[in-house]
Amino acid sequence: MKHSKLTTVSALSLAVAGLGGAAQADDLTLCWAAWDPANALVELSKEFEAQSGHNMSFEFIPWPNFADRMLNELNSGGKLCDLLIGDSQWIGGGAENGHYVKLNDFFDAEGISMDDFAEATVYAYSTWPKGTPNYYALPAMGDANGWFYRKDWFARDDIRAAFKEATGRELGEPKSQKELLEIAQFFQGREIDGQTVYGAAIFTERGSEGITMGVTGALYPWGFKYENTPGSYDMEGAVNSPEAVEALEFYKEFYETATPPGYTNSYMGESLDAFKSGQVAMAMNWFAFFPGLYADPDTGGEKIDFFVNPPQNQEGSTLGGQGISVVAYSDKQEAALEYIKWFADPAVQQKWWDLGGYSAHKAVLESPDFPDSAPFAGDFLEAMGAVQDFWQEPAYAELLIAMQKRMHDYIVADQGTAQEALDKLIEDWTEVFEDEGKL
Amino acid sequence: MSETPMTRAASATPPSVARRIKGLSDRAIAWIFVGPTIFLLLAINIFPLIWTVRLSFTDYKANRAGREIKNVGFRNYERILNDSDIWLNMQATAHFLFWTIFFQVLIGFTLAYLINKKFKGNDLWTTIIVLPMMLSPAVVGNFWKFLYQPQIGLFNYIVAFFTGKDPSSFEMLGSVDLAPWSIVIVDTWMWTPFVMLICLAGLRSIPDYIYEAAEIDRASKLRQFFTITIPMVLPFLMLAVLFRGIENFKMFDLVVQLTGGGPGSTTELTSINLKREAFEKWRTGYASAYAIILFVTVFGLASIYVKALNKVKER
Amino acid sequence: MSSFSVTEPSPRSKWFAGTLVILYALITMVPLAWIMLTGFKTPPDSISYPPKVFFEPSMEGYVNLFTTRTRVGQEALDALPPPDTWYEEIVRERDMVIAGPSKFGERFLNSVIIGFGSTFLSIVLGTLAAYAFSRFKIPLADDLLFFILSTRMMPPIAVAIPIFLMYRQLGLSDTHLGMILLYTAVNISLAVWLLKGFIDEIPREYEEAALIDGYTRFQAFYKVVLPQAATGIASTAIFCLIFAWNEYAFAVLLTSGTAQTAPPFIPTIIGVGGLDWPAVAAGATIFLLPVMIFTVALRKHLLRGITFGAVRK
């Protein structure tokens, strides 16, 4: 089965190589999440349409439904998408269940080298099993969870004085998670220009992946590990380490003392809304949104600045981002591969960054102009240097749903203790790995 | 057995007529007419049900093509019935069922009673009251979510206006205490009209002469209400409760849009939980067993209830 | 006989009852009115505190519902020729340009196709089956009827598991045909049940007379029974249509794009960076309005149908 797929792909790539851009015109559908970078990709893809003669259409699904809808589509063998920019955690399932076309032969035939892309992104978005040179995607969009804040508020003398009085420190970008919380608590409930404002918008969403993505932003800097030894599935003492418990308690305290009222089920959209409506001093969100935030007429420009998720015991940011894959059920794989070939071109990658997409190509990231090309570009490089991702196992959805439940039960619904939540999480995960035959 | 059902079917029309019918026999027509419906139901209802039973004894996962499928006997059933989290979902469902039915019966019956006073224009107002139940629960749920927003939502604002509380001081969807009630409120808003309509049909079925006779016996209005109105409407009311009970046991769309099962798992009704198991975790075998358990529960409860209903009707 | 009757309520109690019912009706309408109002607000107005009852109406929600937009920089914006349509102008004010139509039109059309397709099929099959159950002695008719009705007791998610597997095998996932068949299967139980009631009410003598006049069964059914049952068929059709129109659980699990209907789509409408409540409200209004108009216009048949379907048994 796997073998025959490989030969098909190499045959296909030969066909692509032979025909070049002169192949027949196809209607390609690219599926991704509905967010700012997706609009940039539409803009970018016009060039591909002009060059190749293929017609691009897009299916963008809002984040809360993205995983659900797309995994359902893949699992039902659907032909909606020819190209899919799937989330990093799907790579294991995509590869093992034959949803994604393996790209190695194609890369070789076209001279696309994974060495040209940032290591962290190749590892996270393209390879399965992790770290082996088996590629099922091309890194399309680097991303991590970061922070942004109201620079104008942080600069005001009255606020700075009040902060100094309250904490004995100067108000500035936090250097640790605990400073972050302190600043957020300082702003919580404060009157600014006649409006009550709150500390920070953080992720607490229950339905998809929100609260997990938020809480790992605290877990990783505290030194949280999924396993004692990588690949062993030995979680006791790692997942529920004292550091992990402390980090989890920290996140709950953050939720309870420094977020706006009603932030019980909030993710990307709510975080953006809270910030843009001037409700919060700080907010966490994916770097992907930063270009849009910077461009915002009300709270962007001079009023906003950005920082990397602060360290605590160590540096650590939650990984976002996606690779672009060819869907194995598509009838138009040749044209889809053509798209990937075009997309991997350094000139296109540079334009991708200019339009607001986060290229993972070294030609872009390592260019001397890059750190100054946007106010968050340097932060992005720093964040990507210390990213960690959730499990990327084929059973990732089961693992994620268990974590969503345990975290939301503890943090938002206030049930049990942090220790209990993590202990139960190990039980849930153990069950999953037992079913998988890995334990 | 001297005659088969089919010969009886043919004899439904007098023989003199039957002889003169041209074309197909009645028996053939009967099957041609009923056949497609039965076929469709077999294909899309019964065959899948049998398949679900079969799957419920395996560890099949629909998202894992190459994985070997093992028979696991009753293990799925054991796991579900021993899972304390699932019992919490059952409790949430029971809470939802009980209170929605309670409020819908109370308000629905009252409204029907008032409408039955036949005031001018009652027909039009009845129609307006009925509107919510005609609408798409998913869209309605999504919009109520907006009404329930603590800062900007209309619901909180109105409650704050009448109670003097700060509208951002309580979260209908976000707080563990209020969320179970927030879904009860929306369901009651949406489905009270249904109970009302059934009760109205019951009230209108009571012949006037019964009240006239009671009046002659000088029975008080209150007494008439309890000895005539209530007993006569009861079978209708019970029927409405049956329908609402079955529907709300299946409840999915409205609550998914409102709370998605949160906060934590406080409003995670069984259908929502089942969806997670089946289409998010893709534990197909396990979810099949879960589905069968739910189906048997509804069917069992409904049968017991129908027996009780028939007793009431006979009285 | 005087016009006085003991069962006729007094004017005072009528007035009292009327006031209470109207009050309830008005309260019940508030959420619906709010949906429609929100559709005409601008996004900032829609999330203002306190909620705005009076505001300057805007078509922004509707424009956002039907378009996708991209944010462009100030220089790029200045370089563009002035907007030539009113909707382009609305979008420009937010520093954005229209990138193309949104998917809402397609999804709405899917709802129409699947709704009417499945209603048509349910009615055709349902009328035939109902006629057969009404006029012929079918073995185990009562059991069959009960069986047909009991299929509605299954939670849709439970049914969806095997349907999902079956559709995947047959290539029916995310197709119009698949959804039409599925909704037909769900609707047909109610259709048969309702229609049998309507056909039972038509006296047999009419057909028998037709048969004696030399009509075949088919002709008698077609020329005598169908016209008589027209009202019943129409009101059953409306029920089927409303169900298919509103259905969410199957749609969200079995469709992803090509055949996706509006109910799973509307809650997922979001703006460029952040939730766009006016657009959601606009979508909801367009989607709910036909049903509301239907309900008010056809109230006689509809209300009778609801009680009839439930009470007959």
Tens-digit pLDDT profile for residues B195-224? 999 999 899 888 889 988 998 888 888 999
pLDDT of residue C107 exceeding 90: yes
Chain-chain contact of C18 with B121 (C-beta, under 8 angstroms)? yes
Q: How far apart are CA B291 and CA B250, in angstroms?
A: 11
Task: Give yes or no: residues A127 and A105 share one domain.
Answer: yes
pLDDT at residue C194, as a whole number? 84
What is the Cα B233 distance to its own chain's centre?
20
Both structure tokens of B243: 């329908």
Give the residues across from A322 on adjacent strands: A87, A141
**Same structural domain for residues A308 and A186?**
yes
Fold of B75-314: MetI-like fold (1.10.3720)
Residue with tokens 């977020």: A259
**In this structure, are residues B9 and B27 in contact, taking their beta carbons and an 8 Å threshold?**
yes
CA distance B151 to C50: 8
Classify residue C275 by burial, with Cβ atoms within 10 Å: 0-12, 13-18, 19+. Answer: buried
Residue of A72, A268, A289, A304 to mutate, testing the C interface (most C Cβ within 10 Å of its Cβ): A72
| CATH code, domain carrying A380 | 3.40.190.10
What is d(CA A226, CA A230) in angstroms, rounded to the nearest whole number?
A: 8
Q: Is the peptide bond before A346 cis (omega within 30 degrees of 0)?
A: no
pLDDT at A158: 94
CB C229 within 8 A of CB C127: yes
Q: For residue A349, give the nearest of A370, A379, A318, A376 by alpha carbon.
A: A370
Q: Pick from A385, A405, A432, A424: which is nearest to A207 by CA? A: A405
Contact A72 B173 (CB under 8 A): no
Instruction: For the sheet with A280-286, list strands across it.
Output: A190-192, A195-201, A280-286, A145-150, A304-308
Which residue range forms the structural domain that includes residue A56?
Answer: 2-143+321-388
- Please indicate, yes or no, whether residues C232 and C144 belong to a single structural domain of this protein: yes
A76 touches chain C (CB under 8 A): yes
A413 is a domain residue:
no
Distance CA A304, CA A298 (A): 10
How many whole angstroms separate alpha carbon A277 and alpha carbon A300?
Answer: 11
Q: Are residues C48 and C180 in the same domain?
A: no
Do residues C117 and C97 both lie within one domain?
no
Q: Are residues A20 and A155 in the same domain?
A: no
State how many domains chain A has.
2
Q: Determine the pLDDT at residue C6.
A: 59
Does the residue C294 lie in any domain? Answer: no
Question: Which residues contact residue C24 at a Cβ distance below 8 angstroms, ignoring those fewer than 6 apart?
Answer: B107, B111, B129
Kindly tell me the burial class for residue A162, based on how many C-beta atoms sit within 10 Å of its own C-beta (0-12, 13-18, 19 or more): middle
Confidence of residue C311 (pLDDT cuts 50, 70, 90): low
Environment class of B238 (CB within 10 Å of its CB; exposed 0-12, middle 13-18, buried 19+): buried
Write out pLDDT tens, residues C164-203: 999 988 989 889 999 999 999 989 988 888 888 888 888 8
pLDDT reported for residue A10:
43
pLDDT at residue C46 in the model: 86
Distance between A354 CA and the closest CA of chain B, angstroms: 36
Q: At what angle do helices C176-200 and C299-311 cross, to 10 degrees?
A: 80
Q: Residue A138 falls within a domain, yes or no?
A: yes
What pLDDT is stored for residue C7 in this prediction?
66
Higher-confidence residue: C207 or A241? A241
Co-location of A313 and A343 in the same domain = no
Cα-based torsion angle of the residue sequence A414, A418, A422, A427 in order, rounded to the nearest 10 degrees? -60
The answer to whether residues A79 and A32 belong to one domain is yes
Domain locations in chain B?
5-55, 75-314
Among A68, A262, A397, beta carbon nearest to B168: A262
Question: Are C112 and C248 in a shared domain?
Answer: yes
- Whether residue A234 is found in the same domain as residue A285: yes
pLDDT of residue C309: 60
Name the region of B264 (left: φ>0; alpha: ψ -120 to 50; beta: rest): left
ipTM for this model: 0.88
Rounded-to-integer distance, Cα C253 and Cα C172, Å? 13
A36 falls within a domain: yes
Q: Which helix (H) or strand (E) holds B244?
A: helix B230-249
Chain B residues touching A398 at Cβ < 8 A: 281-283
Q: What residue numbers bound the domain in which C21 lies?
A: 1-102+269-274
CATH no. for residue C116? Answer: 1.10.3720.10
Distance between CA atoms of residues C148 and C194, nearest Å:
12
What is the number of other CB atoms lying within 10 angstroms of the CB of residue A113? 10
Q: Quick check: C185 and B40 CB within 8 A? A: yes
In whole angstroms, give the CA distance from residue A432 to residue A425. Answer: 11
Q: Which of A145, A135, A144 is nearest to A324 (CA)?
A: A135
Report residue C262's pLDDT band, with 50, 70 and 90 as the boundaries: very high
pLDDT value, residue C312:
53
Do residue C98 and residue C109 come from a single domain?
no
Strand ranges inside C55-120, DSSP E: 67-71, 96-101
pLDDT band at B68 (very low <50, low <70, confident <90, very high): confident
Same domain, C79 and C18: yes
In a domain, A207, yes or no: yes
Residues C171 and C26 in one domain: no
| Dihedral in degrees, nearest 10, Cα atoms B3, B8, B9, B10 | 90
d(CA A383, CA A318): 9
Determine the pLDDT at residue B132. Answer: 93
Work out the burial of residue B5: count CB atoms within 10 Å of its CB; fewer than 13 is exposed, 13-18 middle, 19 or more buried.
middle
- In chain B, which residues have their Cβ closer than 8 Å to the Cβ of C192? 37
Same domain, C19 and C162: no
What's the mean pLDDT when you consider all of chain C? 86
pLDDT of B10 over the 90 cut: no
Residues A91 and A219 reside in one and the same domain: no
Cβ proximity of B158 and B170 under 8 Å: no
**Considering A273, A296, A318, which residue would you say is the last residue of a domain?**
A318
In the structure, what pLDDT confidence band is assigned to residue C313 with cuts at 50, 70 and 90? very low
Give yes or no: residues A69 and A89 share one domain.
yes
Could you give the CA distance from residue A299 to residue C153 in angstroms, rounded to a whole number? 52
In a domain, C20, yes or no: yes
Residue A36: its pLDDT value, please? 82
Give yes or no for A431 touching B (CB within 8 A): no
* pLDDT for residue B86: 92
- pTM for the model stands at 0.87
d(CA A176, CA A178): 5
B280–A397: do the CB atoms touch at under 8 Å?
yes
User: How many Å apart are CA A420 and CA B85, to the nearest integer?
Assistant: 15
Same structural domain, A380 and A239: no
A413: nearest CB among B85, B264, B276: B264
Could you tell me the maximum CA-CA distance found in chain C, to the nearest angstrom? 87
Q: Based on the fold, state whether residues C123 and C253 are members of the same structural domain.
A: yes
Judgement on whether residues A312 and A329 belong to the same structural domain of the protein: no
**Using CB atoms, which residue from C46, C47, C182 is nearest to B44?**
C182
Residue of C77, C176, C255, C268 to mutate, testing the A interface (most A Cβ within 10 Å of its Cβ): C268
> Does residue C73 sit in the same domain as residue C135?
no
Three-state DSSP at B216 gives helix
Residues of chain B contacting C301 with CB distance shorter than 8 Å: none
Counted domains in chain C? 2
3-state secondary structure labels for all residues of A255-288: HHHHCCCCCCCCCHHHHHHHHHCCCEEEEEEEHH
Q: Is the pLDDT of residue B8 over 50?
A: no
Higher pLDDT, C53 or C122: C122
pLDDT 10s digit of each residue in chain A, 439 long?
444 444 444 444 444 444 444 457 889 999 999 888 888 899 899 999 999 999 999 988 888 888 888 988 898 888 889 999 999 889 988 998 899 999 999 999 999 999 999 988 999 999 988 889 999 999 999 999 999 999 999 999 999 999 999 999 999 999 999 999 999 999 999 999 988 899 999 999 988 899 999 999 999 999 999 999 988 999 999 999 999 999 999 999 999 999 998 788 889 888 988 898 888 999 999 999 999 899 888 888 899 999 999 999 999 999 999 999 999 999 999 999 999 999 999 999 999 999 889 999 999 999 999 999 999 999 999 999 899 999 988 888 899 999 999 999 999 999 999 999 999 999 999 999 998 888 8
Q: Is B74 helix (H, G, I), strand (E, B) or coil?
A: coil
pLDDT above 70 (res B13): no
Strand duo A27-33 + A280-286: pairing: unpaired
Chains that touch C (3 or more CB pairs under 8 A): A, B
* C-beta separation of A105 from A13 below 8 A: yes
C313, part of any domain: no
What tokens does A176 get?
A: 């640790």
Q: Show the tokens assigned to B14.
A: 């007098």
Phi, psi for residue A189 in degrees, rounded to 5: 80, 5
- On whether any CB of chain B is under 8 Å from the CB of A430, the answer is no
Q: What is the DSSP string of B114-136?
A: HHTT--TTHHHHHHHHHGGGGS-
pLDDT for A22 equals 46
Q: Indicate if A98 and A110 belong to the same structural domain.
A: yes
SS3 per-residue string spanning chain A: CHHHHHHHHHHHHHHHHHHHHHCCCCEEEEEEECCHHHHHHHHHHHHHHHHHCCEEEEEEECHHHHHHHHHHHHHCCCCCCCEEEEEHHHHHHHHHCCCECCCHHHHHHHCCCHHHECHHHHHHHCECCCCCCCECCEEEECCEEEEEEEHHHHHCHHHHHHHHHHHCCCCCCCCCHHHHHHHHHHHCCEEECCEEEEEEECCCCCCCCHHHHHHHHHHHHHCCCCCCCCCCCCCCCCCCCHHHHHHHHHHHHHHHHHCCCCCCCCCHHHHHHHHHCCCEEEEEEEHHHHHHHHHCCCCCHHHEEEEECCCCCCCCEEECCEEEEEECCCCCHHHHHHHHHHHCCHHHHHHHHHHCCCCCEHHHHCCCCHHHCCCCHHHHHHHHCCEECCCCCCCHHHHHHHHHHHHHHHHCCCCCCHHHHHHHHHHHHHHHHHHHCCC
The 10s digit of each residue's pLDDT in A259-302 is 998 788 889 888 988 898 888 999 999 999 999 899 888 888 89
CA distance B218 to chain C (A): 11
**Together in a domain, A237 and A151:** yes
- The single-letter DSSP state of residue B164 is -
CA–CA separation, B289 vs B71, rounded Å?
13
